[in-house]
Amino acid sequence: MNDCDALKKSVNGILLLYSHSSKANAPTLLEHINSFKNYSERNVCAVNLELGFPMGLSDLSFDVIVLHYSLFGSFPYELCNRSVQYIKEARESYKVVFFQDEHRYCQQRFSLINRVDVDCIYTLLDPQYFDDVYHKYTDVRQIIQTLTGYVDGSLVDQARRLTKPPEARSIDVGYRARSLPFWMGKGAQEKTEIAEKFLCRVAGLGLNVDVKTGEKDRIYGDAWHQFVSNCRVMIGVEAG
């Protein structure tokens, strides 16, 4: 045990650091964050760094520190210097990080992994790319493939409450996307191109279509679940 950890109160549990603003966001984000408390066998202390680094946290030492992917959506990351220093000094903690959108800010991500000495990465990459990406540029010891999200118990409950028969749904085909920059690749462009071409092909067929790609048309929270339950069919596109 190092001098810094020796002065801290030991907490038998997981510290989950994440970022979530009060603005509307996709419901899957909070579902993923809440899943740690809902399904972990350990006690979980979840701290929203959007509100700043809390007083007193520096005096605690956790068995495990988890950095949620919501911290890494943009750069600079949602990690202040104080929080990075805290993670770096927590040498007795097992450090886990979840990543998404791993095509962005690669060198900054590698630098952070090495700087705070991350033990385990949960990645969206296929295993055959582990060596060429993380093992090549970082000292991380364990890499595990994960998915962007899972079916949460609350989502199952929502489905039971909102599901209705097809004849009671007012929208024939529904879809939402938003324009993304070209540097994000062909798949990002297809999300809007597919919607635009679909609208052209169904024009005049008499279908009630609610397919939109504008930022102002995005739907969040419970309103998204209600929208899905009111669609007979939804357009599906590849992601990742």
Mind listing the pLDDT tens digit for each residue in 65-96?
999 999 998 888 889 899 999 999 999 999 99
Closest CA to 234 of 147, 225, 156, 157: 225
Residue 104 has a pLDDT of 86
**Predicted local distance difference test score (pLDDT) of residue 221:** 81
| Three-state SS annotation for the chain | CCHHHHCCEEEEEEEEEECCCCCCCCHHHHHHHHHHHHHCCCCEEEEEHHHCCCCCHHHEEEEEEEECHHHHCCCCCCCCHHHHHHHHHCCCCEEEEECCCCCCCHHHHHHHHHHHCCCEEEECCCHHHHHHHHHHHCCCCEEEECCCCCCCHHHHHHHHHHCCCHHHCCEEEEEECCCCCHHHCHHHHHHHHHHHHHHHHHCCCCCCEEEECCHHHCCCCHHHHHHHHCEEEECCCCCC
- Whether residue 237 contacts residue 198, with contact meaning beta carbons closer than 8 Å, is answered with no
Give the number of other CB atoms < 10 A from CB of residue 63: 15
pLDDT of residue 99: 96
Question: Residues 112, 134: contact at Cβ < 8 Å?
Answer: no
| Two tokens, residue 48 | 């929203």
How many whole angstroms from its chain centre is CA 215? Answer: 19
Smallest CA-to-CA distance from 219 within 232, 231, 228, 207 is with 228
**Please, what are the averages of pLDDT over each run of 10 residues along the chain (240 residues)?**
66 95 74 91 94 91 96 86 95 96 91 97 96 97 92 87 95 94 87 95 96 93 91 86
- What pTM value is reported for the model? 0.83
Per-residue model confidence (pLDDT) at position 6: 59
How far is residue 71's CA from residue 91's CA, in Å, rounded to a whole number?
Answer: 21
The pLDDT, as a whole number, for residue 148 is: 86
Say what the pLDDT of residue 27 is.
73
- Could you report the per-residue pLDDT of 31-62, keeping only the tens digit for each? 899 999 999 999 999 999 998 999 899 999 99
Q: Name the token pair of 129.
A: 């790319």
